[in-house]
Amino acid sequence: MKAIVYHNYGTPDVLRLEEVEKPTPKADEVLVSVRAASINAADWLLLNGKSFITRLIAGGLNKPQRKILGNDVAGRVEAVGSSVTKFKVGDEVYGDVSPRGGGGFAEYTVVAEKYLALKATTLTFEEAATVPTAGMTALQGLRDKGKIQSGQKVLITGASGGVGTFAVQLAKYFGAEVTAMCSTNKLDVVRSLGADRVIDYSKEDVTKMGQRFDLILDIAAYRPFAAYAPILNPDGIYVLAGGALGRIFRAMLLGPLASMGKRQTFGNVAAQPTQKDLLTLKELLEAGKVRPVIDRCYTLEELAEAMRYFGDRHVRGKVAITVGA
């Protein structure tokens, strides 16, 4: 089968289209004929391998051992393992292959049954492939970590990206009053998603606007998490859902300390793929409560170009990759 492989860390120029062995599903796995995939921040970090942590995740300090990137996939079931009961050959599915270290940028991949769900019938394969990582991060950040409630005032930074576009829509679905932050050229996209107020972070400083929030979902991590404490209500919750690894680890380590002796809570979310949440998102997508936002779509052979575009940080929503015909 064809796959995009990288043998060394570096720029998108290290990506190569190669023939590799077609995977065989284990008893609890499903072999998926991949029709589409999408790019996430994790792919960019693993490709570059600039930090010790990302190299550990990629399985090698000098060279990546897991050589095929891509965590989000959508496609058709090609074969099922002996213990799989929820899927059959021909089913249109979408899911998350991050627990096995990626593998989505290929013609075939295997996905554990518990990380797979039937695709929303209203979506194309490309649209479905943009949902798993970004959709579950937004859902778990707002619902599980953020304890979002109807009527709350919610601030979402980085609202125009993959996670942000889902977060704005989900926060509105949960009944919140949403203030969203993004750059100047992306204001129209965020407004179209239903945000009550959109702030251009290059022109306005949300920490100096005199407004307080019940929940802050910080996807962009423009500033340290402690900088948001003054605009967080006394019993408010701050959740970091993106940004540089250094800030993520500081939030993990220092967030609990910053929360001690206060009703304010500071933490972070790292999406945990579950079939239950994939099904929840499927229902919302089919009901029209949430929609994917795709900036551009590339073919598998154009993945290096797609990664360069993603790395330039101009993306509105998601970048999708068409794999199979």
Structure confidence at residue 155 (pLDDT): 98
Cα maximum dimension of the chain: 59
pLDDT band of residue 56 (cuts 50, 70, 90) is confident
pLDDT digit string, tens, across residues 192-217: 999 999 999 999 999 999 999 999 99
Under DSSP, the state recorded for 207 is: G
At 242, the pLDDT band (50, 70, 90 cuts) reads confident
Local confidence band at 251 (pLDDT 50, 70, 90 cut-offs): low
Q: Indicate if the pLDDT at residue 63 is higher than 60.
A: yes
Closest by CA position to 198, among listed 179, 211, 212: 179
The CATH number for 2-131+292-322, chosen from 3.40.50.300, 1.10.1040.10, 3.90.180.10, 3.50.50.60, is: 3.90.180.10
First to last CA, the chain: 14
Q: Judge contact between 148 and 174, C-beta under 8 A.
A: yes
Domain layout of the chain by residue ranges: 2-131+292-322, 133-268
CATH of domain 133-268: 3.40.50.720
pLDDT at 170: 98
User: pTM, whole model, 2 decimals?
Assistant: 0.94
pLDDT at 121: 97
d(C-alpha 60, C-alpha 45), whole Å: 14
Contact criterion met (CB below 8 Å) for 156 and 179: yes
Asked whether 28 and 112 are in contact (CB, 8 A), the reply is yes
Give the pLDDT score at 263.
78
Tens digits of per-residue pLDDT, 218-228?
998 888 888 99
